[in-house]
Structure 1
Amino acid sequence: MSKMSFRGCVGFMVLVTSASVLVVRAQQPVVEQSPTAEQIEFFEGRVRPVLAEKCFQCHSSRTSTPFGGLRLDSRQGLLTGGDSGPAVVPGQSEDSAIVQRVQGRPVLMPPTGRLNDDEITALIQWVDMGAPWPVATASDDVPDPSAPFDLLQRKQQHWVWQPVQVVEPPTANDSSWSGTAVDRFIHAALEQQSLTPAPVADRRALIRRLSFDLRGLPPTPAEVARFVSDTSPEAYVDLVDRYLASPRFGERWARHWMDLFRYSESHGSEGDPDIPLAWRYRDYLIRAFNADVSYDQLIREHLAGDLLPEPRLNSDLQLNESVIGTGHFRLVEHGYQPVDPWEDRVKWTDNQVDVVSKAFMGLTVSCARCHDHKFDAISQKDYYSLFGTLYGARPTQRAIDAPAVLTKNKVELATLKKQVRAKLADVWLNSTTATNEALLEQARVTVEPESETFNSTRIRSDGTLVEALRELAQASDFTATWIELQRYWQVEVETRQAFNNEHFDVAWDLSGSDYEATVGHGVGRPDVPSAPGEFSIERRGDLLLGGIYPGGAYTHLLSTKHGGVIQTPRFQIDKHRPLENLNLPSIVDRVLHEHGADA
């Protein structure tokens, strides 16, 4: 027998496998695969809402006689079809009647109006992926979609909504599996399935597993040799401690957290604009894992790290770590100039709801955007409560320096501001006469000579400005004149204030000294409201002043370069309610899964 190449061997295996499949299919019915979590999410988020809104009124169990005998509220109804045959051919959108009808072939459905392009595209994609449908509702015994979902009953019946219970671990028949409670649970599950545990790994395999799990890197030959030769009882514990203390540990495990919060250094979309400081969030996670920051603390920092009364500070880097935790809110799909900014912001917030709920609770809360959740105890009201909380936030830039750095900057800026103010006043006072003379010169006009012996100029007198300039230019006491002008200015201010008080309601008054209701940030923000006449300096260009402001609270004083934000009220976190009082699948399940212990 001649030798067969590797490629030929693979080809032969493929041919044999294909033939086997053909024989099996001829002898038994097709067993369809269960839909994946991603497919169910696509159906619930993109397809079911369209069917419920546009089709169920005529083609569902809501009516005793569905139009054309067609029901679209179950997968079996789609496959069986109505008077015209099946509505869906899984995997073949071009041959599926439901796709043909929404495209107007031969008639347009629904009769109330054509679906938009996004809805048609989603329907085509769903059919092409096999028309996945949740198993719980894959038969004709489908509850009325219009009937309310009993959230309370769901919470009472499903284990995931129950408080954590203390459960005694089972007794292990094998004494080698009695080391920890987790071992005994695993051993009991294996026995129930009549499975034999894998043999104990040798020391070379053990160090490789540990190194890849904790550091994401293979052990060095020297590390392997040292561990194999060290047979002391403390060798394994010491190795674990050493790998946990490695900087590579944070790099390895921060990657999984970044996956949950869809970390990227650009916003996606057709323009794919960069996120210049996204790496700050990445490094923040690495430092957090290496510093063994608690899970509770990470949740607080991700949800309200900029509002914590006692933020977590990094003394070595002089950073406010808690503020950086909120950076994940900017990691969303976002274009340069959306056609509809309001719609774009709704999509932005919905994405944040989806990511936060999946990451911290393991729940698809976004499914309740259009209706109460079909499977989990989440109402549409719950969704919009969370949506409203996140929608109330505004994109902004935040200083991540530690308070000591910000205080130092404020002191330096205040000193510079005094110097700038003194210099501006000196230049202004010394140039008043020259300025007024120049303005008067612009107000002079040349007059044609009235005689051979007369040739002069005269000053226009067509308003109060010229008269005021003349008085200022000729006044020996500029200060007295300036005080008189201030009196007129005060009258004008009071007149406008009276008008505003009569015609407008004041929602915010930051002109006083009460800052208790606000949370302010920004290098240029003073600790108390500023007096009238504060100014900012332009960052670039020929103009010196960016603005002169009335009394109030500002975040960009001295320079428009130093921005900030003022927020209210302060976000309060209940310190007495534990975050782990439910069985919600979250970080623990993911850690076990990454370690291959998803038993």
Structure 2
Amino acid sequence: MLSRLIAACLFLLNLMSQQGFADEKQLLAPDHPERAKKGLALFKSSVRDALTKHCLDCHGGKSIKADFDLSSRELLMSSGFVTDSADDSHLIALIEHTADPHMPFKEQKLADKLIADIRTWIDLGAPYDAPLSEKSATPALEMIVKDSDRQFWSFRPLHAVEVPTVNDAVWCRTPIDQFVRAKQEAAKLTPNGTADRRVLIRRAYFDLIGLPPTPEQVDDFVNSQDPDAWPKLIDELLQSPQYGERWARHWMDVARFAESHGYEQDYDRPNAYHYRDFLIKALNADLPYDQFVQWQLAGDELAPDNPLAMMATGFLGAGAFPTQLTEAEFESARYDELDDMVMTTGVSFLGLSIGCARCHDHKFDPIPSRDYYRMAAAFGSAIRAETQIDLAPEENRKRQSDFDAQLAAKKQAASEFETTKLPTKFREWLATARAAEQLGPWETLHIVSLDASSGTKLEQQADASVLATGKAPTKEVITVEAESFRPDVRALRVEALAHDSLPQKGPGRAGNGNFVLSD
């Protein structure tokens, strides 16, 4: 009956073999860090050179004799020649010449001081700072995804199953009920009684929209005689805008959605709400699940002209990211960004913790590191950025067209008023007594001082006007100080006058005679 289905499945796999685990965990000694530090210092100062010079050629370099390879600590400790105690290590017996063959082979015995250093180094755990040769690293076993891994139930494609037969067929209203009832019968459980209508409507409201019904809605449903009251109620709730708002919250948790960047600055993301709105609209529109997934991963590539698809790509950038980075942090932060995309995609859509394979083959699931990095490469071109996008093109085009039409009409009206009516009205106003009262008499200012910040020469003329001469700067700030003995000065007026010395006779000093005044 429900027309929508959101599946958020977490597949729990357990492919790990239980063999090879010790019955008890071996705990490190409390002084392990100090011992390791001393051992590394000793290894760097004397032991490394001794092993490289006297041992490596036959035991890990050009060849590996007696199955003894000391080119790395892993190989040394797995050889059986060295234990956690120098007294019990066969290597010490060989270099002290208390066991055959004496080592170094057919060479002089090592100095007593050097043998003592090797003894101490072994007792300190025989730490290495690095392998003794490039080819000495223990070869990693490449994970192979076997057919048996692919047969695990969560990796197999869906297929039709046979609906079980139950004894209490009357209780079952849908095929799904038969699966539920079959399990109940197997466990010898009796179903609860049918919920009354008051309980039923509250369950429906809380489940589908997360809000309680009003008392009036409860009464209407309880007292309804319509046999289709229940399916009609469900359809009504599914059509409610609150349906998408309720269920989008769950997917936002899966997609690690936030409206701020996180970390110590935690700046706001003013446009993050577009992804939230996509989820609400997608759920309310019953967007097919495959399209729901595809748009969140590549909506900008699959449907660049669809605003909803562009909003969906917020899935990849919804995680927490630092906003203040030093130059040295850029590369590592970019890898963390890609890891977040891979990890969230794996958890959200596959139910797999793919992010574990960033550092090593997955310990439980059949996910090799190579597959992790192949998947990360698929997101290599995904860059988090804010882009101007028209999210309602049809609506905005209509609004723009309506606005342009209204603006053109107003401009036309203003132009006609300025050219046909305004001059006449202004002359009429000037002729009135009120205009004379408001304007008052104009008088020429008595200039006390003139100053030009960019070097323009300012010369006061006989008629009290000021002539600008000299080199004309691109911009000039002119300060005029003047005196007036009138207590009721209401306005200042600047008159730009023509002059024979100016380009095109002025009034300005530009090549075309323009005069431009700004604040």
Query: What TM-score comes out, normalization by structure 2 length?
Result: 0.51
* Alignment partners' CA distance in 2, 1:322 and 1:145: 46
Following superposition, the deviation at residue 74 of structure 1 comes to: 4.3
2:241 alignment partner in structure 1: 247
User: What amino acid is aligned across from residue 370 of structure 1 in structure 2?
Assistant: C
- Residue in structure 2 matching 1:288, options 279, 282, 288: 282
1:510-529 to 2 correspondence within 5 Å? none
Matched, 1:173 2:172: no
1:91-490 to 2 correspondence within 5 Å? 97=28, 100=30, 104=33, 106-108=34-36, 147-309=141-303, 311-312=305-306, 320-339=307-326, 340-401=329-390, 402=392
Kindly indicate whether the alpha-carbon contact (under 8 Å) linking 1:354 and 1:364 is maintained by their aligned counterparts in 2: yes
Kindly indicate whether the alpha-carbon contact (under 8 Å) linking 1:211 and 1:243 is maintained by their aligned counterparts in 2: yes
- Decide whether aligned partners of structure 1 residues 150 and 157 sit closer, same or farther in structure 2, where only a CA change above 3 A counts: farther
**What whole-Å deviation, never above 9, does each CA across 1:571-595 have from its counterpart, x for those lacking one?**
xxxxxxxxxxxxxxxxxxxxxxxxx
User: What amino acid is aligned across from residue 362 of structure 1 in structure 2?
Assistant: G
**What whole-Å deviation, never above 9, does each CA across 1:375-428 have from its counterpart, x for those lacking one?**
22322221111101112222222233145589899999xxxxxxxxxxxxxxxx
Kindly indicate whether the alpha-carbon contact (under 8 Å) linking 1:154 and 1:376 is maintained by their aligned counterparts in 2: no
**What whole-Å deviation, never above 9, does each CA across 1:157-212 have from its counterpart, x for those lacking one?**
31111121110110121123332111111111222223222221111111111100
Following superposition, the deviation at residue 263 of structure 1 comes to: 1.1
User: What amino acid is aligned across from residue 157 of structure 2 in structure 1?
Assistant: P
**What whole-Å deviation, never above 9, does each CA across 1:204-254 have from its counterpart, x for those lacking one?**
111111100001011111111111111432010000011111111111000
User: What amino acid is aligned across from residue 216 of structure 1 in structure 2?
Assistant: G
1:484-503 to 2 correspondence within 5 Å? none
User: What amino acid is aligned across from residue 257 of structure 1 in structure 2?
Assistant: W
Kindly indicate whether the alpha-carbon contact (under 8 Å) linking 2:149 and 2:366 is maintained by their aligned counterparts in 1: yes
Q: Where does structure 2 lack aligned partners over 5 or more consecutive residues?
A: 1-8, 14-18, 42-137, 404-469, 475-517
User: What amino acid is aligned across from residue 249 of structure 1 in structure 2?
Assistant: Y
- Decide whether aligned partners of structure 1 residues 345 and 379 sit closer, same or farther in structure 2, where only a CA change above 3 A counts: same
* Alignment partners' CA distance in 1, 2:374 and 2:38: 33
1:501-580 to 2 correspondence within 5 Å? none
1:575 alignment partner in structure 2: none
* Alignment partners' CA distance in 2, 1:238 and 1:322: 31
Q: Secondary structure at the match of 2:343?
A: helix
* Alignment partners' CA distance in 1, 2:341 and 2:143: 25
Following superposition, the deviation at residue 366 of structure 1 comes to: 1.0
Alignment identity in percent?
38
1:465 alignment partner in structure 2: none
* Alignment partners' CA distance in 2, 1:176 and 1:159: 31
| Farther off after superposition, 220-229 or 328-337 | 328-337
Following superposition, the deviation at residue 438 of structure 1 comes to: 6.3
Q: Secondary structure at the match of 2:236?
A: helix
* Alignment partners' CA distance in 2, 1:440 and 1:209: 79
**Which protein is bigger by CA-based radius of gyration?**
2
Query: What TM-score comes out, normalization by structure 1 length?
Result: 0.45
1:488 alignment partner in structure 2: none
User: What amino acid is aligned across from residue 374 of structure 1 in structure 2?
Assistant: K
* Alignment partners' CA distance in 1, 2:140 and 2:197: 60
User: What amino acid is aligned across from residue 213 of structure 1 in structure 2?
Assistant: D
Q: Secondary structure at the match of 2:300?
A: coil
Following superposition, the deviation at residue 301 of structure 1 comes to: 1.1
- Decide whether aligned partners of structure 1 residues 383 and 192 sit closer, same or farther in structure 2, where only a CA change above 3 A counts: same
* Alignment partners' CA distance in 2, 1:321 and 1:342: 32
Q: Where does structure 1 lack aligned partners over 5 or more consecutive residues?
A: 1-36, 42-60, 62-72, 82-86, 88-96, 114-143, 313-319, 413-436, 442-541, 543-599
Number of residue pairs matched?
297
Q: Secondary structure at the match of 2:157?
A: coil
Kindly indicate whether the alpha-carbon contact (under 8 Å) linking 2:303 and 2:309 is maintained by their aligned counterparts in 1: no
Q: Cα RMSD between the aligned structures?
A: 3.7
* Alignment partners' CA distance in 2, 1:407 and 1:246: 29
* Alignment partners' CA distance in 2, 1:275 and 1:259: 17
**What whole-Å deviation, never above 9, does each CA across 1:25-82 have from its counterpart, x for those lacking one?**
xxxxxxxxxxxx99x99xxxxxxxxxxxxxxxxxxx9xxxxxxxxxxx847442xx2x
**What whole-Å deviation, never above 9, does each CA across 1:540-562 have from its counterpart, x for those lacking one?**
xx9xxxxxxxxxxxxxxxxxxxx
* Alignment partners' CA distance in 1, 2:170 and 2:305: 46
Kindly indicate whether the alpha-carbon contact (under 8 Å) linking 2:172 and 2:181 is maintained by their aligned counterparts in 1: no
* Alignment partners' CA distance in 2, 1:327 and 1:147: 38
**What whole-Å deviation, never above 9, does each CA across 1:296-320 have from its counterpart, x for those lacking one?**
11112101111124754xxxxxxx1
User: What amino acid is aligned across from residue 295 of structure 1 in structure 2?
Assistant: Y
Q: Secondary structure at the match of 1:196?
A: coil
- Decide whether aligned partners of structure 1 residues 410 and 247 sit closer, same or farther in structure 2, where only a CA change above 3 A counts: closer
User: What amino acid is aligned across from residue 376 of structure 1 in structure 2?
Assistant: D
User: What amino acid is aligned across from residue 288 of structure 1 in structure 2?
Assistant: A
Kindly indicate whether the alpha-carbon contact (under 8 Å) linking 1:324 and 1:400 is maintained by their aligned counterparts in 2: no
User: What amino acid is aligned across from residue 385 of structure 1 in structure 2?
Assistant: R
Q: Secondary structure at the match of 2:302?
A: coil
Kindly indicate whether the alpha-carbon contact (under 8 Å) linking 1:321 and 1:400 is maintained by their aligned counterparts in 2: no
